[in-house]
Chain A
Amino acid sequence: MNNVYLYEGGFFSFLSLLCELIKTKKNPDDIKEINCYQKRLFDQEIYLLIKNERENIEQICKRLDRVSTYMIYNVFLSNHEEKEMIIYRFFLSYLKYGNKVFCMRRIDDVNNLIILSKRVRREAHKLKGFLRFQKMKNDFYYGEISPDNNVIGILADHFKKRLAEDNWIIKDTVREIYAIYDKKEVLYLTKEEVISLNIEKTEEEKEIEDLWKSFHKTIAISSRENRRCQQNFMPKKYWKNMLEMENEK
């Protein structure tokens, strides 16, 4: 049988389970979030009752330094099927070698963790540039993203610092989650929790969008045209949320 340990969802619930597994010396074959878990043949589901979740989280955070916490968090946001087990096995190596483990990339789980963490940060970085807001009649700026990884939190942190004096909403259309900012704090809501969202553009919006599209077109030097280079830097999968690429194929 495969021992599959389940956690409720969210980073802290995962960390708490991770701590429990190590403390009780369990040998998981897999770790999955309850909502995303689909039972396979020979799976044995195990749901651990954790008495003191907070204590577990504190214990694990004490163990980790800044770099490893940062990387584990990034990998937790990735869309990799085995992200939990990669983190779990990385953590075992980390306990054994300490932070010099980052220089031992021959260990597969260390290597995977570093590569996945970079991949998530890279996508978040690209979207910090590619996300487009539209101004809505209710005075909110509204933008949609469709990322591979769950980067909405990284983006919300970025825009909270940058557009602190405006109201804005970012929607992840893949995961159907919303980050809503009201000039004070960011609130994360699921589709079910968002009761009504009035996304109607202001009259002025089309004019500004036209200005941007004109600028985007004009700034290119035609004798240097290089569509392949454009696509390398700005992969097509992001185009559907980018106003200036709407009519491109």
Chain B
Amino acid sequence: MTIREKLIILSDSAKYDASCSSSGSNRKNSSNTTGNAAYCGICHSFASDGRCISLLKILMTNSCIFDCKYCINRRSNQVKRAIFYPEEICEITMNFYKRNYIEGLFLSSGIVKSPDYTMEKMIETIYLLRNKYHFNGYIHAKAIPGASDILLKKLGKLVDRISANIELPTLNGLKLLAPNKEENKITNIMKTVKVNKSNTFTPAGQSTQMIIGASQETDLDILGKSESLYKNFSLKRVFYSAYIPVNKDKLLPSLKAPPLVRENRLYQADWLLRFYNYKVDNLLSIQNPNFNILLDPKADWALRHLEEYPKEINEASYYELLKVPGIGPESAKKIIRNRKYYRLEFNDLKKMNISVKRAKYFILCNGKYFSDTNIFNRKIIEKNLILEDKMVNDNHVQLSLFHE
């Protein structure tokens, strides 16, 4: 098998992992090494699905002793299998990095022989890359559930980020679709990484991923899980990956298209948890456990609390500003910095590149509403917000739902 054939097989099997982030590490270049890490992360290209390509995302091997229902590499699938030797991975990484194709390596693997054996091979590869090839760029490695703690600690010292995928947010889902995966094995990894994290141990922290739409979980189940993961294990990111049917199985749903809009709503809500001071309880409840597909969660929240609006932007606090649809941390800071010196008008916002497309319905600028106040009406605002929603427009979500 040629290197090219291997690369195709082993990147094809790795592509369902959503993470390609290269941020969060300050790894500096030192003498006689190649590479450094950029704290903000750098995207090197974009694939035809619109996703960023930052890392050489590959599996060491796609052979696997596990048989997870949703996974393309499960044991029972008849797919071409390949394995990379450590030197081969190092060569490709160095060749790509020096040509500036990539920011670093994202190495994952199917499980061969045993979790410990697999992880040892991964460590051997990364050790070689760091010490023989003197590679000092970004490395993200997947931890293998069930591998020993000693190996995990070895790995953590070599890489910038470790991730372990939780895959399904409830134990039932996991039992049903990933019978070989146990949640406590994943959380053990997260605990070890959390306890050991430092400037020399996974400086860019850890992340995880959940599959959206392969099982019966609600958005409340998923986001509730994320909230507790952020809290308990200080995760940097939770990634959400719309379920794409690659296997036929009576336990799996048959979908015409991956639930991309739902995935996007979860990302939007995840952002609200991390940067906007929202709690899951603010957004979802047992009576109302799923997001409105037609509106982003923040707009949806604001519409349900319309009695708090319109807010005068010259007086609102930072956190009140953050709750206005269309205003993010950057914009809120600009508003607060500038209003010290003069009362802000609508024109001032536009000038500072603050988008008022959605915000205008919820704010007063120096006492003025953007239009006739008749418009301040739940139905009208909702309709306009839906018409302007990027996800709704891009995915041609059936607006008939709304017009009825």
Would A214 and B7 count as touching, CB distance under 8 A? yes
Would B45 and A104 count as touching, CB distance under 8 A? no
Whole-angstrom distance from the CB of B162 to the nearest CB of chain A?
21
Bound Cα distance from A23 to B96, whole angstroms: 52
Bound Cα distance from A242 to B29, whole angstroms: 26
Would B99 and A212 count as touching, CB distance under 8 A? yes
User: At the interface, yes or no: B332 with Cβ under 8 Å from chain A?
Assistant: no
Bound Cα distance from A148 to B300, whole angstroms: 40
Bound Cα distance from A96 to B12, whole angstroms: 60
User: At the interface, yes or no: A103 with Cβ under 8 Å from chain B?
Assistant: yes
User: At the interface, yes or no: B15 with Cβ under 8 Å from chain A?
Assistant: yes
Interface-forming stretch among A38-46, A54-62, A87-95, A127-135? A127-135
User: In the complex, how many residues of chain B place their beta carbon closer than 8 angstroms to a beta carbon of chain A?
Assistant: 60
Q: Which residues of A contact B342 (CB under 8 A)?
A: 104, 106
User: At the interface, yes or no: A198 with Cβ under 8 Å from chain B?
Assistant: no
In chain B, positions 4-62 with a C-beta closer than 8 Å to chain A are: 4, 7-8, 11-12, 14-16, 28-29, 31-36, 38, 40, 42-54, 56-57
User: At the interface, yes or no: B224 with Cβ under 8 Å from chain A?
Assistant: no
Would A219 and B53 count as touching, CB distance under 8 A? yes
Bound Cα distance from A104 to B128, whole angstroms: 53
Q: Which residues of B contact A229 (CB under 8 A)?
A: 46, 49-50, 394
In chain B, positions 93-121 with a C-beta closer than 8 Å to chain A are: 95-96, 98-101, 103
A103 touches which one: B11, B28, B46, B337 (CB < 8 A)?
A: B337
Would A233 and B50 count as touching, CB distance under 8 A? yes
Bound Cα distance from A208 to B57, whole angstroms: 16
Majority-rule SS of A interface residues? helix
Would B101 and A212 count as touching, CB distance under 8 A? yes
Task: With A103-B341, A104-B338, A128-B38 as known contacts, state yes or no: A219 contacts B52, CB within 8 Å.
Answer: no
Bound Cα distance from A214 to B6, whole angstroms: 11
Q: Which residues of B contact A233 (CB under 8 A)?
A: 43, 46, 50, 52
Which of A163, A218, A228, A229 has the most B CB atoms < 10 Å from its CB? A218
Would A135 and B99 count as touching, CB distance under 8 A? yes
User: At the interface, yes or no: B352 with Cβ under 8 Å from chain A?
Assistant: yes
A132 touches which one: B3, B99, B103 (CB < 8 A)?
A: B99
Bound Cα distance from A230 to B47, whole angstroms: 7
User: At the interface, yes or no: A115 with Cβ under 8 Å from chain B?
Assistant: yes
Give chain A's interface residues, CB within 8 Å of chain B.
100, 102-106, 111, 115, 125, 128-135, 141, 143, 159, 161-166, 208, 210-212, 214-230, 232-234, 242, 244
12 A-B residue pairings within 8 Å (CB atoms): A103-B337, A129-B45, A164-B31, A216-B47, A219-B12, A219-B14, A224-B49, A226-B49, A230-B50, A233-B46, A234-B46, A244-B45
Give chain B's interface residues, CB within 8 Å of chain A.
3-4, 7-8, 11-12, 14-16, 28-29, 31-36, 38, 40, 42-54, 56-57, 92, 95-96, 98-101, 103, 134, 137, 242, 244, 257-258, 260, 334, 337-338, 340-342, 348, 351-353, 394
Q: Which 4 A-B pairs have the closest CB atoms?
A: A229-B50, A220-B47, A226-B50, A224-B49
